[in-house]
Structure 1
Amino acid sequence: MTKTAPERMQETDVIELLIAQHGVIRNMFDDVEQAAPDKRKEAFTRLVRMLAVHETAEEEILHPFARTAMDGGSAVVDDRLQEENEAKQLLQQMDQAGVDAPDFMENLQVLRAAVEAHARAEERYEFSKIIQHTSEAQRRALGAGVKAAEAMAPTHPHPGVESATKNVLMGTPMAMMDRVKDVIRKAMKKD
């Protein structure tokens, strides 16, 4: 099973880091799909966390940069934010309903298709242009920013908080609440 803390990944170039995370996310979907029923919740919890921190970091660091660094950046970012919001809404519903919900596996396939299409669109329309408009040093600086944002990001989806401003204003309190809830859930599971 895939286990990782995205903020501890070795890649330093922001594009290499985010593309590597897209690969990890695909593997995590496989883990959830292939998990035995008694292990599915654990695998899904890891996927939820990865998606939440990954998207938050993109929203706080990469998208604001892309808006100003590339021609037509605002339109490209707006399209990605719309995709992210739709995926977050489904992910939040699934997270609240749990892995035992009768439509879980069906929703997982819908979520996977949406997340993979979103990742392809980012790589094609956003990442490729960022590479053209940045130096290696800039991409390393953005990579450090993404890792820092991931370390402080909420661990569950929060639809409607897709802008850098909303993430900065609301992200830290939500992250703190998410992380406290995660600790409580983990402690209750051990009893």
Structure 2
Amino acid sequence: MKDNDLDVITFLLRQHEEIRTLFQEMDHVSGPAREEVFQRLVRTLSVHETAEEELVHPYARRAFAGGDKVVDARLREENAAKELLSRLDEMGTDHPEFPKLFEELRTDVLAHAEAEEREEFPKLKEETGEGKLRAMTTAVKAIEAMAPTHPHPGVESAKKNILMGPAAAIMDRTRDAIRAAMGKTGS
């Protein structure tokens, strides 16, 4: 089944599995490969959370009773994870504090994903028609294509993402291109 045929819940659940896999991969790599896997994790988490913040969470607020409470809790978790991910991204995988902080990130992110899967996604699926859920997948993919590729703590609302996201995305994608070019030239 292609991503375009998936409802947004299934699409996001697949991304959660990808994130879990990247965390597991980190246990089995070292050196430059560890940094490469970590940067894939940073990018995956960053674009995934942006899409949830811009589309999924605002929709959930309105879709079911208690949506505000559920979404507010998820946004607090996302901000804490972004702050930690940002610190880890800045320090690099060979920093002496990285392993301890990375384990804290893993615990927080996986608990956050489980909370979404338990509290938010089932209610969204119950209260939203299949056609709307598939349309949301298309929108999530569009948001992710333009999303920042690194964490930006404090930008958890849809409004802040829309206002600040494009500039952050350009800066992030430029930084990614420079890093890639530097790696290829050996500089």
Structure 2, unmatched stretches of 5+, are: none
Aligned-residue identity in percent: 54
SS of corresponding position for 2:27 = helix
Task: Report deviation, 1:51.
Answer: 0.2
Distance 2:24 2:136 in 1: 29
Task: Report deviation, 1:69.
Answer: 0.7
1:32 corresponds in structure 2 to 26
**TM-score normalised according to structure 2 size:** 0.95
RMSD over aligned CA atoms reads: 1.2
Q: Would you identify which runs of 4 or more consecutive aligned residues in structure 1 move more than 6 Å?
A: none
2:105 corresponds to 1:111: yes
Q: What is the total number of aligned residue pairs between the two structures?
A: 184
SS of corresponding position for 1:99 = coil
Match of 1:95 among 81, 89, 92: 89
1:41 corresponds in structure 2 to 35
**TM-score normalised according to structure 1 size:** 0.94
Task: Report deviation, 1:48.
Answer: 0.2
On the 8 A contact 2:55/2:140 being kept in 1, the answer is yes
1:51 corresponds in structure 2 to 45
Task: Report deviation, 1:184.
Answer: 0.7
On the 8 A contact 1:33/1:105 being kept in 2, the answer is no
- Once the two structures are overlaid, the 10-residue window that deviates more, 172-181 or 11-20, is 11-20
Change in 2 beyond 3 A, CA 1:49/1:11: farther
On the 8 A contact 2:53/2:158 being kept in 1, the answer is yes
Match of 1:65 among 38, 42, 59: 59
Match of 1:76 among 60, 63, 70: 70
Match of 1:12 among 6, 9, 16: 6
SS of corresponding position for 1:39 = helix
Distance 2:150 2:32 in 1: 21
Task: Report deviation, 1:104.
Answer: 0.9
Task: Report deviation, 1:31.
Answer: 1.3
Which residue identity lines up with residue 89 of structure 1 in the other structure? E
Change in 2 beyond 3 A, CA 1:188/1:9: farther
Distance 1:181 1:158 in 2: 14
SS of corresponding position for 2:96 = coil
Which residue identity lines up with residue 67 of structure 1 in the other structure? R
On the 8 A contact 2:35/2:92 being kept in 1, the answer is yes
Task: Report deviation, 1:11.
Answer: 5.6
Which residue identity lines up with residue 143 of structure 2 in the other structure? A
On the 8 A contact 2:43/2:149 being kept in 1, the answer is yes
2:143 corresponds to 1:149: yes
Task: Report deviation, 1:10.
Answer: 5.8
Which residue identity lines up with residue 171 of structure 1 in the other structure? G
Change in 2 beyond 3 A, CA 1:86/1:11: farther
